[in-house]
Chain A
Amino acid sequence: MSFLAIDDLTKRFGSTPALDGLSLDLAEGEVLALLGPTGAGKSTTLLCVAGLEKAERGRIHLDGRDLTTLPANRRNVAMVFEGLNLFPTLSVRQNITLPLQAPGQEVPSGDIEARLKTVTEQLRIAHLIDRRPQGLSGGETQRVALARALVRRSALYLLDEPLSALDLKLREDLQAELRSLHAHYGSTLLYATHDFHGATAIADRLALVAKGKVIQIGRLQEIMAAPANAAVGRLVGSPHMAFLRARRQGDEIRLPGQEPSLPLAAFRPKAAVPESVTIGVWPEDISLVEQQGFAGSIYAVNRRGIDKAIQIDGDFGSFRKAVPLELPARQGMTAAFSFDPARAFLFDAKTEQLLSQVQHGTASA
Chain B
Amino acid sequence: MASITIDQLRVSFGDFRAVDDIALEIEDGAFVVFLGPSGCGKTTTLRCIAGLQEADSGSIRFNGEEILGLSPSARNVAMVFQSVSLYPHLTVAGNIAFPLKARGEPREVVRRQLDWVAEILDLGAIMKKRPGGLPPGALQRVALARAIVRKPNVLLLDEPLSAVDEQFRENMRWELGHIQRELGVTTIYVTHDQREAMALADRIVLMRDGRIEQFGDADDLYFRPRTAFTGYFIGSPSMNFFAAELRDDRVLLEGTALGGSGTEGLKHALAGREGCRLGIRPQNMVLSEADGLPHLAEASEVLPFQQGTERLFSFKLGERVFLGQDRSAGGTPEIGLDLSRAFLFDAQDQRIDLAPSAQEVAS
Contact pick for B363, options A195, A301, A326, CB 8 Å: A326
Asked if B177 is an interface residue, CB under 8 A from chain A, the answer is yes
Q: How far is the CB of A179 from chain B (nearest CB, A)?
A: 7
A residues within 8 A CB of B256? none
Binary CB contact string for chain A from 69 to 109 against chain B (1 if under 8 A, 0 otherwise)? 00000000000000000000000000000000000000000
Known pairs A169-B233, A176-B323, A331-B181; A305 contacts B222 (CB<8 A) = yes
Tally of contact residues, A, Cβ under 8 A:
40
Provide the bound-state CA to CA distance between A300 and B193, in Å: 19
Tally of contact residues, B, Cβ under 8 A:
42
Inter-chain contact A304/B363, CB cutoff 8 Å:
no
Contact pick for B174, options A137, A284, A311, A365, CB 8 Å: A311
- B143-175 residues with Cβ-Cβ distance < 8 A to A are 165-167, 173-174
Asked if B38 is an interface residue, CB under 8 A from chain A, the answer is yes
**Total residue contacts A-B, CB cutoff 8 A:** 100
Interface 9-mer from B4-12, B88-96, B205-213, B234-242? B234-242
Binary CB contact string for chain A from 265 to 305 against chain B (1 if under 8 A, 0 otherwise)? 00000000000000000001000000000000001111111
Interface of A is mostly: mixed
B residues within 8 A CB of A194? 165-167
Provide the bound-state CA to CA distance between A296 and B273, in Å: 54
Asked if B252 is an interface residue, CB under 8 A from chain A, the answer is no
Contact pick for B307, options A37, A200, A320, CB 8 Å: A200
A residues within 8 A CB of B128? none
Provide the bound-state CA to CA distance between A305 and B234, in Å: 8
Inter-chain contact B307/A300, CB cutoff 8 Å:
no
Q: How far is the CB of A166 from chain B (nearest CB, A)?
A: 10
Inter-chain contact A302/B314, CB cutoff 8 Å:
no
Provide the bound-state CA to CA distance between A320 and B178, in Å: 13
Q: How far is the CB of B186 from chain A (nearest CB, A)?
A: 17
A residues within 8 A CB of B232? 169
| Least CB separation from B38: chain A residue | A167
Inter-chain contact A284/B198, CB cutoff 8 Å:
no
Between A and B, 15 residue pairs with Cβ closer than 8 Å are: A167-B37, A169-B233, A169-B238, A179-B314, A183-B301, A183-B303, A224-B309, A237-B309, A238-B308, A284-B309, A299-B178, A302-B199, A303-B198, A305-B222, A311-B178
- B residues near A (Cβ < 8 Å) are 37-38, 165-167, 173-174, 177-178, 181, 192-195, 198-201, 218-219, 222, 232-238, 281, 283, 301, 303, 305-309, 314, 321, 323, 362-363
